[in-house]
């Protein structure tokens, strides 16, 4: 303890303290989020869930989506969108929207897992729609990432980039990056087609193919690139920018050094 107190005025002490604090909060946050995700796998909803969900809906969603979720001029009808759509939109924090804009943005979730599932129960009770995916369909240890890559390149890569990094669309809309998105949310997005994304229903991309796509994305996510810096995997734009700025500065630096007179 004495040694520690003696070193507290060391110039590196503040830095060490900062690193420890960051690690601690990061660790706690990671634990907290994983425990959140582990919960709620119910696909059958009780009458009470529906009732609670309706209350939440009235209080938080009805301004835009209407009192009976029939839709208004500021929000679409939710009848028949299914529990899956609610779980995606509310579970990723996209809904409730912060403000009207080209596209709903990801933000910290406003409802916890239980409330999200109650909302989903209410919306699912309004009309038949896709339900929240089963664990079986999200198990990437059973997926085939090679087939997933083919499906991804044919159906998804044009908007989300071949490396899943996302890309720009028209008028402020964009396809978000798929890195770090949970298996369930990727599945639900394919199933329901949130925002301007097209729907990829089970007749189009089967549940097995969806799992393969998720496996491919998780492979990209978990594996580092073997070539070193990926520079955002954006292709010639970021790579060109890098070499024309950093590379050229290095070359100029050496030229200056070579021709300067030594002291």
Partner 1 sequence: MGDHRDGTPHKSGAVVTSDGAEQDQFPNPGLPPHRPRVTDVDPKAAKRAEHQVVLLFLLSMVGSVLFFVAYFGIRVDGPLYDAVNTEPTSQLRLQNTLLGLGIALGMFGIGIGVVHWARTLMPDHEIVEMRHDIRSEEDRAEAQSILNTIYDESGVKRRPLLRNTLIGAAVLMPLPFVGLLKDLGPTDLKVLRHSMWDEGVRLVRDPSGTPIKASDVTLGSAFHVVPESLNSLSHEDGYLNEKAKSVVLLMRLDPDTVNVSEERKDWNVDGIFAYSKVCTHVGCPIALYEQHTHHLLCPCHQSTFDLVNECEVIFGPASRPLPQLPISVDSDGYLVARSDFHEPVGPTYSQRDFAVKEMQGEGN
Number of residues that bind partner 1 (CB under 8 A): 41
Range 103-142, binding partner 1 (CB under 8 A): 140-141
- Asked if residue 225 binds partner 1 (CB under 8 A), the reply is yes
Closer of 185 and 218 to partner 1 (Cβ): 218
Q: Which two tokens stand for residue 163?
A: 């490396």
The three-state secondary structure class of 175 is strand
* CB of 39 vs partner 1, minimal distance in Å: 23
For residue 172, the tally of other CB atoms under 10 A from its CB is 9
In this structure, the chain runs to a length of 263
- Asked if residue 12 binds partner 1 (CB under 8 A), the reply is no
- Asked if residue 258 binds partner 1 (CB under 8 A), the reply is yes
* CB of 9 vs partner 1, minimal distance in Å: 34
Closest residue by Cα to residue 86 from 48, 40, 38, 47: 40
* CB of 175 vs partner 1, minimal distance in Å: 8
The three-state secondary structure class of 167 is strand
d(CA 200, CA 190): 5
Range 153-172, binding partner 1 (CB under 8 A): 154-155, 158-159, 167, 169-170
Closest residue by Cα to residue 53 from 151, 122, 133, 2: 122
Read out DSSP for 50-99? HHHHHHHHHHHTHHHH-TTS--BTTB---TTSHHHHHHHHHHTT-SS-SS
For partner 1, which stretch binds (CB under 8 A), given 21-29, 31-39, 46-54, 189-197? Answer: 189-197
List residues near partner 1 by CB under 8 A: 140-141, 143, 145, 150-151, 154-155, 158-159, 167, 169-170, 173, 175, 193, 195-201, 203-204, 209, 215-216, 218-219, 222-228, 257-258, 262-263
């Amino acid at each position: 303890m004495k040694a520690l107190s003696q070193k507290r005025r060391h110039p590196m002490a503040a830095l060490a303290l900062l690193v420890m604090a960051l690690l601690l909060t990061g660790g706690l946050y990671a634990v907290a989020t994983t425990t959140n995700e582990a919960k709620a796998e119910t696909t059958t909803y009780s009458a009470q869930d529906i009732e609670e969900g309706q209350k939440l809906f009235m209080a938080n969603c009805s301004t835009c989506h209407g009192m009976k979720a029939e839709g208004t001029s500021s929000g679409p009808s939710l009848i028949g969108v299914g529990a899956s759509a609610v779980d995606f939109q509310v579970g990723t924090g996209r809904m409730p929207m912060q403000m009207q804009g080209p596209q709903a943005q990801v933000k910290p979730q406003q409802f916890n897992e239980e409330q999200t599932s109650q909302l989903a129960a209410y919306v699912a009770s309004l009309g038949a729609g896709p339900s929240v995916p089963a664990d079986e369909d999200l198990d990437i240890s059973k997926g085939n990432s090679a087939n997933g890559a083919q499906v991804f390149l044919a159906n998804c890569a044009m908007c989300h980039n071949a490396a899943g990094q996302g890309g720009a669309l028209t008028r402020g809309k964009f396809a978000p990056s798929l890195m770090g998105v949970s298996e369930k949310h990727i599945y639900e997005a394919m199933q329901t087609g949130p925002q301007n994304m097209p729907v990829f229903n089970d007749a189009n991309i089967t549940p097995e193919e969806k799992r393969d796509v998720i496996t491919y994305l998780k492979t990209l996510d978990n594996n580092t690139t073997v070539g070193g810096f990926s520079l955002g995997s954006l292709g010639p734009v970021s790579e060109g920018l890098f070499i024309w700025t950093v590379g050229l500065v290095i070359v100029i630096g050496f030229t200056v050094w070579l021709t300067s007179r030594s002291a």
